[in-house]
């Protein structure tokens, strides 16, 4: 309902905290993609809200981890647009969690964004 009061094409969601990934299209055409939280923790979960006017342009979406998601839009006769939604652990996280997040983000960026 809040999305109806703002102008947007795509909203990146963070801290959705769902138990499992959920993709649904509302009756007005809004596409909602939400990923699951970290197993056995109450953190994470990323996704997207896609406005009905651009929902038909969604070519693919991937929830790669509770902290990383990719949405690809492919407008007709144009290059694809990739939106990466990443949610970093806070500074309170231990070093290994931060290192794993940054390594995973770097790996995904290299794989998904060819130069």
Query: What is the per-residue pLDDT across 47-99, written as a single tens digit (0 to 9) for each?
Result: 999 999 999 999 999 998 888 999 999 988 888 899 999 988 877 778 888 88
Q: Are 85 and 62 in contact (CB under 8 A)?
A: no
- Structure pTM? 0.83
Mean pLDDT (whole number) for 36-57: 90
Instruction: Report H helices in 33-114.
Output: 52-55, 95-112
Q: What pLDDT shows up at residue 4? A: 63
Q: What pLDDT shows up at residue 48? A: 98
Residue 115 has pLDDT above 60, yes or no: no
79 C-beta neighbours (distance < 10 Å), count = 7
Alpha-carbon torsion (23, 27, 42, 95), positive or negative: positive
Supply 70's token pair: 């990719």
């Amino acid at each position: 309902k809040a999305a109806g009061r703002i102008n947007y094409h795509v909203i990146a969601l963070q801290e959705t905290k769902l138990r499992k990934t959920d993709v649904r299209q509302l009756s007005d055409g809004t596409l909602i993609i939400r990923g699951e939280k970290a197993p056995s923790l109450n953190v994470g979960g990323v996704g997207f809200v896609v406005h009905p006017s651009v929902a038909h342009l969604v070519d693919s979406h991937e929830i790669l981890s509770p902290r990383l998601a990719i949405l690809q839009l492919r407008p007709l006769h144009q290059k694809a647009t990739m939106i990466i939604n990443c949610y970093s652990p806070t500074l309170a996280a231990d070093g290994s969690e931060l290192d794993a997040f940054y390594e995973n983000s770097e790996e995904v960026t290299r794989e998904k964004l060819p130069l």
